[in-house]
Amino acid sequence: MRREGRALSFEEAANLLNRDVGTIAKTVQWLREKNLVEVEVRTSNLVSLGSEGQIYSADGLPERRLIEMLSEAGGVASIDELKKSLGEDVFQIGLIWAKKNQWINIESTGPQKSVKLIHYPGETSEEKLLKHLRERGVVEFEDLGEDLKKACMNLKTRQSVINIDEVKRYYVRLTDKALQIPEGELHIQEVTRLTKDMLTSGSWRQYRFSRFDISAPSKPIYAGKRHPLQRLIKIVKEIFVEMGFEEIRGPIVELAFWNFDALFQPQDHPARDMHDTFYLNYPSTGQLPENLVERIKDAHETGGSTGSLGWRYRWRREEADKLVLRTHTTATTIRYLAEHPDPPVKVFSVDRIYRNEKVDWKHLAEFHQIEGIVMDKNVCFRDLIGLIKEFYSRLGLKDVRFRPSYFPYTEPSAEAIVYLREKNTWLELIGMGIFRPEVTQPLNVKYPVLAWGGGLERLALALYNLEDIRTFYMNDLRWIRSIPSTYLDKKIGLS
């Protein structure tokens, strides 16, 4: 085989070797790493007929048709006549260009306007180009002569007459190194795989084995991994477990009784409003825990035996047996507490809750809360503060502060805020407190219960440095792929 330095386009090479372009590209990549070929990108502009151009190349340009008609008519014709024989569109376009080319004049003879031929040119470069394109289909701009190039530029200004498309072509040529390889060595085959046959026949001796190039570019592989929000949930759960908590879960469809009443939220409390809470239509009510109904009623109406005066209104079971989508996971911890009134209790939940919110970048109608309670003989508010500090410090958030707050079910109440260095802001993390006697006594709970709860997504926003809370639910694969599975572990300092 003769060796020379002519560059071949990938397409040409594919044709010559009877392979597809992809195979050529792969092979070229191989040879390039061995410095045997070099690749050159050439951009070419391909010229072809557009939809109008197809018609013009067959029937003639509108301006040509116009002057032909004029010439046949003896040099002058009325606008109406021309319109009639050429059709409105061809006439209008033809008129504009013939006028521009100074082939015609428009004259008013009385009320009628007429068109007069003043110059009848031979074949123009534009017409030559159309003919050329009709014969050849597609041509390269660079291959055209100067006058046809100009014609291209002219016709380009007219709608759909010609198309000029820029395409990138890859060319491959041998390097000097390849050109100098001695004839004998050219036939040593390089193989990528050693086979059993090569071993038994001993033919492996004739081959040269390709080396792996681990730096060769390749397509990224997106391995399966947990969704970034699920990753955080997993870490949060692990931290709770490491701190000696047990996970609990509760129903998503919950009695208003557990969501509100057992938490000493009065029945006219604004949080119970339909605008804040989703109520179920079918079924709209559920079974109240009858053994507790009287006691909760007493707590609300008179304070029962707690020493409190209660809210002093008439408590109605018709409000309490309504079914809602739980608005907080405190419904789940209070339910658990009612079933486990004896110390010690140390449980958490990370689960979905629902609020009747208009969804925007800051709000979702369905999201997650982190929730926990600790009940034991000697626990106190300082323990609660310590627990919260410890919990968040394990999430890499060390600068946590507490400020007073209010919840109908806790006393004292506080909220924890954390400083975000990257955003230079304070973020509200959770509400917390010790359950009031009006909450614990009806459930026969005799010891202090430390309780806290707060949003998970807000925390996730801070950790993933995002602005829009909807990011977590949009299934934007590009974003999901962009977060390495180890992102949080690194961020938090776990690894």
On whether the CB atoms of residues 170 and 40 are closer than 8 A, the answer is yes
C-beta closer to ligand PHE: residue 181 or 380: 380
**Shortest separation between residue 452's beta carbon and ligand PHE, angstroms:** 5
Angstrom distance (rounded) from CA 124 to CA 151: 9
C-beta closer to ligand PHE: residue 349 or 441: 349
C-beta closer to ligand PHE: residue 133 or 451: 451
**Shortest separation between residue 272's beta carbon and ligand PHE, angstroms:** 14
**Shortest separation between residue 328's beta carbon and ligand PHE, angstroms:** 4
Angstrom distance (rounded) from CA 87 to CA 65: 11
C-beta closer to ligand PHE: residue 127 or 415: 415
C-beta closer to ligand PHE: residue 267 or 285: 267
CA count, 13 A, side-chain hemisphere, 116: 8
End-to-end Cα spacing for the chain: 59
**Shortest separation between residue 359's beta carbon and ligand PHE, angstroms:** 18
C-beta closer to ligand PHE: residue 66 or 462: 462
C-beta closer to ligand PHE: residue 435 or 464: 435
Angstrom distance (rounded) from CA 51 to CA 34: 47
**Shortest separation between residue 407's beta carbon and ligand PHE, angstroms:** 5
On whether the CB atoms of residues 327 and 318 are closer than 8 A, the answer is no
C-beta closer to ligand PHE: residue 47 or 451: 451
**Shortest separation between residue 431's beta carbon and ligand PHE, angstroms:** 3
On whether the CB atoms of residues 228 and 464 are closer than 8 A, the answer is yes
Phi-psi sector, 148: left (phi>0), alpha (psi -120 to 50), beta: alpha
**Shortest separation between residue 334's beta carbon and ligand PHE, angstroms:** 9
**Shortest separation between residue 314's beta carbon and ligand PHE, angstroms:** 26
**Shortest separation between residue 477's beta carbon and ligand PHE, angstroms:** 32
Cα of 244 vs its chain's centroid, Å: 38
**Shortest separation between residue 429's beta carbon and ligand PHE, angstroms:** 10
- Among all residues, whose Cβ is closest to ligand PHE? 431
C-beta closer to ligand PHE: residue 426 or 479: 426
Angstrom distance (rounded) from CA 304 to CA 335: 20
C-beta closer to ligand PHE: residue 363 or 481: 363
**Shortest separation between residue 295's beta carbon and ligand PHE, angstroms:** 21
In one letter, which amino acid is 298? Answer: D
C-beta closer to ligand PHE: residue 158 or 328: 328
C-beta closer to ligand PHE: residue 170 or 407: 407
Residues that bind ligand PHE (CB under 6 A): 328, 330, 407, 410, 431-433, 451-453
C-beta closer to ligand PHE: residue 94 or 433: 433
**Shortest separation between residue 434's beta carbon and ligand PHE, angstroms:** 9
**Shortest separation between residue 238's beta carbon and ligand PHE, angstroms:** 21
Angstrom distance (rounded) from CA 41 to CA 9: 9
